[in-house]
Amino acid sequence: MYNAIHNRIFEYLEKRSKFSLLALGYILVAMLAYVDYLTGDFSIILFYLIPIFLVGWFVNKPSAILICLCASISSLFNKILTHHTTVFHHSWDFTIETTYMILLGMMFATLREKHDQEKRLARIDPLTRVLNRRYLYEIAEQEIYRSRRYNRCFSIAYLDLDNFKGINDTRGHHVGDDLLCSVAATITENLRCADTVARIGGDEFVVVLPETGAEEARLVMAKLQGKLMERMEAKKWPVSFSVGMVTYYSAPLSVDEMLKRADGLMYEVKSQGKNGFRHEILETGMIRELSTPPRPVRWISSGKTLLSGGFTISPLSDLRKKRGAAQKDRTIR
């Protein structure tokens, strides 16, 4: 019960702008100053920690210092109006309270910075600086939810480095680490900002392409494989890539199912000689019309045709050749 309330409050505050939270902090200080004036001899200095924590945690450190000064000045004026004592006593109280508040405000802001840093580190692979398996699951779950709710397609690719173990064994682990970092950097450089790349194993990477259909996904992966091979050749690393990719026009049941399907395609490539690409498409529109359960449509990027439900779909290169031949024939006539 407590955790649920706590999470809802923090989620609500996280969604608010920093300006609105800062304004709320000053409003709370003004309200507390008025209550402090009315109560007279009763000290409510501890309640000033509420706006200090609010601003220190959700805004930033400089704003926390300003709200601390505002709170301590408000407390000083209340004491001058309600307590007729010496200037030394007022100065002493003001110095102690200001120091106390600023230290707490700095502590709240620093804790938030450390919290955010640890949160980022928990999501990032320490070697390649791309996302790790844990955060990939969070991203993939969001993508499945978005696909299910808005009926949007997406694609996921599973990449495995061929002959990577040989690099580690013959050239050392430091070269293997450089290779992994180079692969991660190349993938990141050739993807859109909305795309996601994660390292989920020793030499295995996963790429999530939101709102990306089959043809577009194939073009992206073809370009990416080319860039990766160029980088490997430039570094003289005898490494190639086995890729399995699935395009979903209907959301899968779970992230595990999605990864298992892409992983299976990747292992099919490895079992047939490595350095290849297999693409599976889950078509839903036609399947729903036929009232049959979803079944995969497989694309093998070796120039073969794709067969599905009695239809033959040729690769784009074949269509271009046929179109060119037809235009040439018309020209001759």
Q: What is the pLDDT of residue 90?
A: 86
Domain co-membership, 105 together with 143: no
Which range marks the domain in which residue 79 is found? 2-123
| Span 149-160, pLDDT tens digits | 988 999 999 999
Q: Is the pTM of this model over 0.75?
A: no
Q: Is residue 327 part of a domain?
A: no
Q: What is the pLDDT of residue 28?
A: 95
Q: Is residue 77 part of a domain?
A: yes
Domain co-membership, 165 together with 258: yes
Q: What is the pLDDT of residue 301?
A: 42
| Span 109-131, pLDDT tens digits | 999 999 988 888 888 998 999 99
Amino acid at 103: L
Q: Is residue 244 part of a domain?
A: yes
Neighbours of 318 (CB within 10 A): 13
Amino acid at 96: I
Q: Is residue 310 part of a domain?
A: no
| Span 270-298, pLDDT tens digits | 998 889 899 999 875 443 222 233 334 34
| Span 15-62, pLDDT tens digits | 899 999 999 999 999 999 999 888 877 778 889 999 999 999 999 999
Q: What is the C-alpha to C-alpha distance for residues 136 and 264, in angstroms, rounded to an integer?
A: 18
Domain co-membership, 176 together with 298: yes
Domain co-membership, 178 together with 270: yes
Mean pLDDT, the chain, rounded, equals 83
Domain co-membership, 160 together with 280: yes
Domain co-membership, 35 together with 90: yes
| Span 175-196, pLDDT tens digits | 999 999 999 999 999 999 999 9
User: CA neighbours within 13 Å on the CB side: how many for 226?
Assistant: 7
Q: Is residue 316 part of a domain?
A: no
Q: What is the pLDDT of residue 284?
A: 58
Q: Is residue 328 part of a domain?
A: no
Domain co-membership, 13 together with 146: no
Q: Is residue 94 part of a domain?
A: yes
Q: Is residue 323 part of a domain?
A: no
Instruction: Look at residues 94, 123, 152 and tell me which one is the last residue of a structural domain.
Output: 123
pLDDT of 328 above 50? no
Domain co-membership, 38 together with 61: yes
Q: What is the C-alpha to C-alpha distance for residues 266 and 226, in angstroms, rounded to an integer?
A: 17
Domain co-membership, 118 together with 166: no
Supply the CATH number for residue 288's domain: 3.30.70.270
Domain co-membership, 95 together with 148: no
Domain co-membership, 24 together with 141: no
Task: Return the higher-pLDDT residue of 299 and 44.
Answer: 44
User: CA neighbours within 13 Å on the CB side: how many for 230?
Assistant: 9
| Span 231-260, pLDDT tens digits | 999 999 999 999 999 999 988 999 999 999
Domain co-membership, 115 together with 147: no
Q: What is the C-alpha to C-alpha distance for residues 301 and 328, in angstroms, rounded to an integer?
A: 27
Identify the band that residue 316 occupies on the pLDDT scale cut at 50, 70 and 90: very low
How many domains is the chain built from? 2
In this structure, what token pair is assigned to residue 263? 């992983």
Q: What is the pLDDT of residue 322?
A: 43
